[in-house]
Structure 1
């Protein structure tokens, strides 16, 4: 996988993990806290409602309610403001706590009804239920007045619930000050009976009788309360920080571990590459870096290895070239020196034959030096070219004329084969230099009665020149070295018969400078063909 894709994948995975973990934690924590808050709020409202309702049920009045409100506020942590339905303030937890009352929240108020829920046994006949309701009304009036009196007297009042759901009040020592009134008021009882009797024909008898009970006891029962809880613009509960920090730390740790693993994977080959580059700069051209994978780092390692191989090959070629030059020049220069010293010492006579031989030897060395100069200029891109439109047919004819005498001497047939006019944009002298080298090599490799053919043809946008011979050919092992400097296919050939060994190297560089290619194919015992391919000029001539 690409290094860039790995980095992007790690970052994307880290980001998605962090986002998912944070979202999950926030949602889970918020949901939990909302549920807990709702449950706690319901419990607190229920506790406050039950506490206030119990107080009214027991005491029959709201007098002395403040301690109960303070205790409920402290127990639940709520800000409690209690008023009657007519908005008469009874108690405020802020005022009771000694601080200025704060504005209440906009939550719906809690309604507290202290009156008991009348219990009527199921299955009774309507008349019996009516009688029990009338009795309950009278009993509740009497008990409520009694409980209110006890409360105002400072008695410690308690109550229990009887079978009808009515309070049964008891008190301590203050009970003697308050006398429980006789519930048997005939006039009221008659009115209560009339009101209750209207429910006999109602389908829901119990609900109708409970409504009558509430209406007939409203004058003595404590009024219903409106309870407001909370404070306006109160800050909501914040999310707990510990789980968020824990998850964030976990995600950061995962990202850190991922970054460490990635940096290790990146820095290991980088360190190896840095060490190899340092060694290469110090002359250790054999240094290479281990490469595995197919990402950008691996590609960088392969590029470095290729560069190091090229540098090492160039250094080896340079050393080999220096050795080859020394080898090529040492023997003839030693011969020249020996003969000159012999002539100086009078050991040999300066005959015309000897002088001609020495002159020829000096000319051969001059040719080697000239070839080296041409090759150096060509490889440096400093060789001068004078380009013009060249007719390859004419160029091949000129080359055949120049080598006809050598071919006749070797008993080799030299011929030209062209397919129509073929033109290229090139330096004619440099192309003759290339062809002269190829033809000279072909004539030396071809036995008597053999043939060397110079051919030119156009193949689409390219001009192709071939130098074919029927010589002994070149082995497949020697073909890769054919264009190396000072290399000869036949080691037995000397400078006089095999040339300087630089001609093909120069020819390849000249063809390359012309934007072309030179190739060779050969079969041992059948001959060799050199092919030069250049860009053609002009439109191809149609057949027919």
Structure 2
């Protein structure tokens, strides 16, 4: 996918985020206003019903309620319509305000019952509660009559509930014609009826609720009627949403999109252009091109990866050129010798003596050895080198190598020592591992002056077999140590045959050891000597070869056993 499409996708993502943010803000604002409206409506309804209840509770009548309804409508801003439960209109705020009466809201009406809630003692003694209820009915009947009289006389008074919850009228005006009589006409008969109604609750499980119902039934004849209060207007439009927050959010999102696009073009397009130019130069053969590696984001990581790739390509190109040059150098001299002698033999200039034929045969063997080494190295690096794995004792392998190289060591005046621990076993190819050790020993013999010592040492540590080849030779310079395992690399710049082989032996040795899950390292001090250390996974003496691995493998696949060849030099 092109970067333009990705940038477009990013902008679309921002646009979707902006839309979601706007929708969320609108939803939250609408929800908040609805909640506020509902809360305010509940508060207004509670306030209206509370004041209407207080009026009926205190005055004992709905006379004069219009002024209270008018005041409530002005304070709440609501249209209020009050009727009795028998649908008798008591007050309408539209009519009181002198405007055309609007259709009332279709919301269910709120009921207001001005009759007091009794505060009865605990119901442990039912007869006492019945007597208290009868007394409360009588007191409420007298209070209603007295409060109604004061209301119609437009007297100022207040009402406070007594211990039973019955309102007690408090006024500074003398009773006069509104004075309460102790027992109005017919009050005795009413008291008997009150007692009869309350006595029916004896034996009820919920005595207090039953006595409250009896109180309400008896008080219905003289108490103010229950009200049905309707608030609001039919199809009244809801409050509109505020536009300023949405506009601010939309502007902020647009600004974020612009800044994001500018930042994207600055932080992404510039390094992308640099990468494009460097890649184009790399494709044209300029392997020295690199890009800046600033930052820690993905683009900077891409630049670092590109630079590592360029370094790898440049190193591979240099190694390829060096390999070609080394192969040409290694093959040129012996091939020139062979050609010269063959031409001389053809022209009759040189006699085909046995010594000459033996010399030519040695040159041919040298060429064969170099070609075989190159083949082994190629197979090893490709993971296709043939291995015949079995459990073997490294102590025996080192002893064999020591015996094999003893004549060469005696000729050079160098002693070959052997330091071994108890038997140490590994699972590997004996010929290939002997090839590695032999290469190390030959190198040590070349580097050691007469009278020196080459030591083969074996020990085990932390489940690893450790093989060391130590010499007391001239040593290796520190600058040369990193290149020891490079192909065709030799410390002798003149590449003379007397100082070394083809320069492939250590490269092959490292690959063979790696294929055995081991490592090979070198430590050296000039004038003191050199130590090559090879470590391999050790196995127990009784361990058998893994059943998952055949005796002969090439690159992990079963193949017929190949021909054996002497260790690579």
Deviations 1:118-169 (A, max 9, x none): xxxxxxxxxxxxxxxxxxxxxxxxxxxxxxxxxxxxxxxxxxxxxxxxxxxx
Q: Given the superposition, is the C-alpha separation of residues 32 and 344 from structure 1 closer, same or farther in structure 2, using an over 3 Å criterion?
A: same
* Offset at residue 293 of structure 1 (A): 2.8
Aligned counterpart, 1:443? 445
**1:466/1:531 contact within 8 Å kept:** yes
CA distance, structure 2, for counterparts of residue 90 and residue 421 of structure 1: 115
Q: Give matches, 1:6-85, under 5 Å.
A: none
Look up the match of 2:257. 256
- Residue 332 of structure 1: CA displacement? 2.2
User: What count of residue pairs does the alignment treat as equivalent?
Assistant: 399
The one of 341, 357, 360 equivalent to 1:358 is 360
Q: For residue 237 of structure 1, what is the aligned residue in structure 2? A: 238
Q: Which secondary structure state, in structure 2, belongs to the residue aligned with residue 444 of structure 1?
A: helix
Q: Whole-Å Cα distance in 2 between the matches of residues 230 and 493 of structure 1?
A: 109
Find the residue that maps to 2:520 and give its secondary structure: strand
Q: State the Cα distance separating 1:458 from its structure 2 match.
A: 0.7
Structure 1 counterpart SS, 2:293: coil
CA contact (8 A) 1:22 1:247 kept: no
Contact map agreement 1:30 1:239 (CA 8 A) in 2? no
User: Structure 1 residues 447 and 80, CA, compared in 2 at 3 Å: closer, same or farther?
Assistant: closer
Q: In structure 2, the residue corresponding to 1:387 is in which secondary structure?
A: strand
**What whole-Å deviation, never above 9, does each CA across 1:150-191 have from its counterpart, x for those lacking one?**
xxxxxxxxxxxxxxxxxxxxxxxxxxxxxxxxxxxxxxxxxx
Q: CA deviation at 1:279?
A: 5.3
Query: CA deviation digits over 1:390-409, x for unaligned, max 9?
Result: 11111011101111110010
> Aligned with 1:431: secondary structure?
helix
Report the alpha carbon displacement of residue 23 of structure 1 after superposing the two structures with TM. Answer: 8.7
- 1:79–1:230: 8 Å Cα contact kept in structure 2? yes
Q: Report the CA distance between 1:238 and its aligned residue.
A: 3.3
C-alpha distance 107-374 of structure 1, shift in aligned 2 (>3 A):
same
**Corresponding residue for residue 379 of structure 1:** 381
Whether 1:412 and 2:414 are equivalent positions in the alignment is yes
User: Matched residues in 2 for 1:252 and 1:480: separation?
Assistant: 58
- Residue equivalent to 2:511: 509
Quote how far apart the aligned CAs of 1:87 are: 3.0
Cα 1:247–1:347 shift into 2, 3 Å:
same
Take 2:242 and 2:486, find their aligned partners in 1: how far apart are those partners? 77
Matches within 5 A, 1:111-190: none
- Aligned counterparts of 1:291 and 1:17: Cα–Cα separation in 2: 37
Whole-angstrom CA distance in 2 between matches of 1:405 and 1:299: 58
Shift of residue 36, structure 1, vs aligned partner: 12
Asked whether 1:518 is paired with 2:520, we answer: yes
SS in structure 2 of the partner of residue 312 of structure 1: helix
- TM-score normalised over the length of structure 2: 0.58
CA gap 1:400/1:203 in 2 versus in 1, 3 angstroms: closer
List aligned pairs for 1:489-508, cutoff 5 A: 489-508=491-510
Q: Which residue of 1 aligns with 2:199?
A: none
User: 2:79, 2:93 within 8 Å by CA — same for their partners in 1?
Assistant: no
Larger radius of gyration: 1
Q: CA deviation at 1:273?
A: 4.4
1: CA distance, partners of 2:507 / 2:170: 124
With 253-262 and 398-407 compared, the bigger mean Cα shift is at: 253-262
- Residue pairs, 1:272-283, within 5 angstroms: 272-273=274-275, 276=278, 280=282
Structure 2: distance between partners of 1:334 and 1:196: 143
1:247 matched residue in structure 2: 248
1:326 maps onto 2:316 in alignment: no
SS of corresponding position for 2:458: strand
Alpha-carbon separation, structure 2, partners of 1:475 and 1:503: 19
* 1:14–1:255 contact (8 Å) kept in structure 2: no
Q: Give the TM-score taking structure 1 as reference length.
A: 0.60
What is the match of residue 182 of structure 1?
none
RMSD of the TM alignment (CA)?
Answer: 5.0
Q: Map residues 392-471 of structure 1 onto 2, 5 A cutoff.
A: 392-471=394-473
CA distance in 2, matches of 1:390, 1:361: 35
Taking structure 1 as reference, are residues 469 and 396 closer, same or farther at Cα in structure 2, changes over 3 Å only?
A: same
Following TM superposition, by how much is the alpha carbon of 1:338 offset from its aligned partner in structure 2, in angstroms? 2.5
CA contact (8 A) 2:419 2:456 kept: yes
- Tell me the distance in 1 between the aligned counterparts of 2:433 and 2:105: 106
Q: Which residue in 1 is equivalent to 2:319?
A: 317
Structure 1 residues 403 and 236, CA, compared in 2 at 3 Å: closer, same or farther? same
**Match of residue 481 from structure 1:** 483
- Could you say what secondary structure the match of 2:388 adopts? coil
Deviation at 1:100, TM superposition (A): 9.6
- Tell me, in whole angstroms, the C-alpha distance in 2 between the residues paired with 1:346 and 1:440: 39
Please state how far the C-alpha of 1:242 moved relative to its aligned partner. 2.6
CA separation in 2, counterparts of 1:487 and 1:196? 125
Distance 1:283 1:314, change over 3 A: same
Q: Which moved more, 1:500-509 or 1:239-248?
A: 239-248
CA contact (8 A) 1:21 1:247 kept: no
Cα deviation, residue 24, structure 1 = 8.7
CA distance in 2, matches of 1:415, 1:323: 38
Long gaps (5+) in structure 1: 1-6, 39-76, 110-194, 213-225
Matches of 2:449 and 2:104, distance apart in 1? 124
Structure 2: any 5+ residue segments left out of the alignment?
Answer: 1-9, 43-76, 112-152, 158-168, 180-227, 543-569
Give the structure 2 partner of residue 180 of structure 1: none
Q: Tell me what 2:189 maps to.
A: none
Q: Given that residues 469 and 531 in structure 2 are in contact (C-alpha distance below 8 angstroms), is that contact kept between their aligned partners in structure 1?
A: yes
Secondary structure, aligned partner of 1:495: coil
Residues 222-233 of structure 1 mapped to structure 2, 5 A cutoff: 230-232=232-234
For 1:263 and 1:533, the matched residues in 2 are separated by 52
**Counterparts of 1:101 and 1:480 in 2: how far apart (Å)?**
100
Greater Cα offset, 409-418 or 346-355: 346-355
